[in-house]
Amino acid sequence: MSAQPPGTASPARFVAVVPVKPPAFGKSRLGGLGDDQRRRLAAAFALDTAAACLAARAVGAVLVATDDAGFAARLAALGCVAVPDGDTNDLNSALRQAASEARRRWPDLEPVALCADLPALRCEDLDEALDALVPGGPSFVADADGVGTTLYTAPHGEFDPRFGGGSREAHLAAGALEVRGALPTLRRDVDDLDDLRAAAVLGLGSRTAPLVQELGLA
């Protein structure tokens, strides 16, 4: 897939759909940290991810699905639309429901699902990936390890994400096209402390960076 020429402007044509676990239950694999530290990091990751989506040229709206009412208010203050998580037991089902709500609110915008644990995400990488899409079908971006998925998009009628273990292969098997290119900050999701250190090398967002410094993790 080839991106548009540098400097080519395009109208916002996507709605970012971001599922967010209540921060109290997020990032259980950040070993060696207390519950409050994990909660604060999970919240910062999600806020920085959402902020990067809001700043992306190709994104016209950000819809976050979360069951944490207090955190939903923080996301709304940032500029997102927050709705309840439709299915806390099944991420892909929750994403499909959130995409349906996005279609009701913004019928002209195509849904693009992103993980909420991309604290180094830069809007330039997100725009590059979205500019590179072949219209009319599902596409995805693999994570830095080449096993999982950090972004999935498809027209509403074909929106059928396969997040979970081995999701890169699952998306390929379902006929989705893989977006190539470096896209380092879009691929760098954070599940554990090694991931967080790798993200810090790329440059963390404005909410995660000072927290990482405060907790002595960088």
Token duo for residue 185: 């900050």
Least confident segment among 34-43, 110-119, 148-157: 34-43
What integer pLDDT is reported at residue 104 of this predicted model? 97
What does the longest C-alpha to C-alpha distance in the chain come to?
Answer: 47
Digit-coded pLDDT (tens) for 35-83: 899 999 999 999 999 999 999 999 999 999 999 999 999 999 999 999 9
Q: Please give the share of the chain, as a percent, with pLDDT higher than 90.
A: 80
CA 214 to chain centre: 25
Residue 3, amino acid: A
| Position 180, amino acid | R
What does the pLDDT average to over 106-133?
Answer: 97
pLDDT for position 35:
87
Q: What is the CA radius of gyration of the chain?
A: 16
pLDDT at 162 exceeding the cut of 50? yes
Torsions phi, psi for 124 (to 5 deg) = -65, -40
Mean pLDDT value of segment 157-180:
96
Asked if residue 130 has pLDDT above 50, the reply is yes
Report the distance separating Cα 213 and Cα 218, nearest Å: 6
Residue 91 has pLDDT above 80, yes or no: yes
33 band by pLDDT with thresholds 50, 70 and 90: confident
Cβ–Cβ under 8 Å, residues 88 and 41: no
Cα–Cα dist 119/41, whole Å: 9
- Are the CB atoms for 112 and 151 separated by under 8 Å? yes
Q: Where are the alpha helices (DSSP H) in 82-166?
A: 91-105, 123-131
Query: Stretch 120-149: mean pLDDT, rounded?
Result: 96
Task: Yes or no: say if 77 and 61 are a contact pair by the CB < 8 Å rule.
Answer: no
Helix axes 35-55, 123-131, angle to 10 degrees: 50
Question: What mean pLDDT is reported for the chain?
Answer: 91
Q: What is the pLDDT of residue 26?
A: 64
Q: What is the pLDDT of residue 89?
A: 76
Contacts of 63 (CB under 8 A, 6+ apart): 15, 16, 17, 18, 80, 81, 82, 83, 98, 101, 102, 105
pLDDT at 10 over 70: no
Q: Which of 39, 28, 44 is nearest to 199 (CA)?
A: 44
pLDDT at site 13: 93
